[in-house]
Amino acid sequence: MRYPRARRAGLLYLGGLALLVIGAFPLFWMLSTSLKPSAEIFATPPRLVPTHPTLENFGRLFGDTSFLTFFRNSALVSLATVALTLGVSAPGAYGLTRFSFAGREKVAGLILTTYMFAPVMIIIPFYILVKELGIVNTRLALVLSYTTFCLPFCLWLLRAFFESIPLELEEAALVDGAGRGRAVWHVVLPLALPGLIAAAIFTFILAYNDFLFALVLITSEELKTLPVGVNDLFNATIVDWGMIMAAGVMITVPAVLFFAAVQRYLVQGWGAGGVKG
């Protein structure tokens, strides 16, 4: 019995290792190319590891382009979108699970239905709307556009988390003298923390990687985000692959660091609310 189990476990680990290699190799190649001098990038046969690693590509990226400006814009827009989306979706999801009103389930279903529409379907109406509001070519226009698409999914996701939280815990806090706001803060939100973190990650990645709305709504060079700014590198007369790979590394690192900073709360949040309540 032990031998088949060990064999099965070995096959599972081998399959997991294969998937890891397949998923991580493009990132490794991107990092390796970003550290190669120009002569090594086009060497035949290609080398997995640079023979003479250099930071020249990163130096040109920061010195010859507006990468830092693009990065600042992407970070500001993404974080603002996360704050606005969670600030609206959390109270909305709580209201859908804790208050009874006519058509509550239909409202919840309608919210999810709006997520079915592709962004390209509403880009022109949205552009006309923001133009009428006078906020074209502003970060606010990007934040509102990203929130439009993140909000339905986050509402539905958080609704499921709030529904899984026993109502008795909140009622016990109310009986002990806590107001509804305090009960929500100390009991409900800690238990819903994994859902909040998942919604934040989803929103951040969508806003951070968006290209379509940033391309249409932003025209000023100083307001461009990373996807649009890096895309301009491909339109140059000579495509500098080393610098493009360096840009790819610098784009990927913040997203990885953001996830690494918040992923531990996914585990800690499962039981925190019950203890604090």
DSSP 79-99: HHHHHHHHHHHHHHHHHHHH-
The structure's pTM equals 0.81
- Our CA angle for 129, 132, 135, nearest 5°, is 85
User: Do 166 and 237 touch, CB atoms closer than 8 A?
Assistant: no
Based on the fold, state whether residues 242 and 172 are members of the same structural domain.
Answer: yes
Unique residue bearing structure tokens 């973190």: 197
Whole-number pLDDT of residue 2: 58
Q: Is the pLDDT of residue 167 over 50?
A: yes
Q: Is the pLDDT of residue 63 over 90?
A: no
pLDDT tens-place string over residues 99-123 = 777 777 777 777 777 777 777 888 8
Could you list the residue range(s) of the whole structural domain that residue 50 is in? 1-54
Whole-number pLDDT of residue 144: 93
User: Pick from 226, 213, 216: which is nearest to 118 by CA?
Assistant: 213
User: Pick from 217, 219, 200, 198: which is nearest to 208 by CA?
Assistant: 200
Query: At which of 14, 37, 54 does a domain end?
Result: 54
Q: What is the mean pLDDT of residues 234-256?
A: 82
Query: At which of 14, 30, 54 does a domain end?
Result: 54
Q: Is the pLDDT of residue 129 over 80?
A: yes
Whole-number pLDDT of residue 272: 43
Q: What is the mean pLDDT of residues 11-25?
A: 86
Based on the fold, state whether residues 155 and 24 are members of the same structural domain.
Answer: no
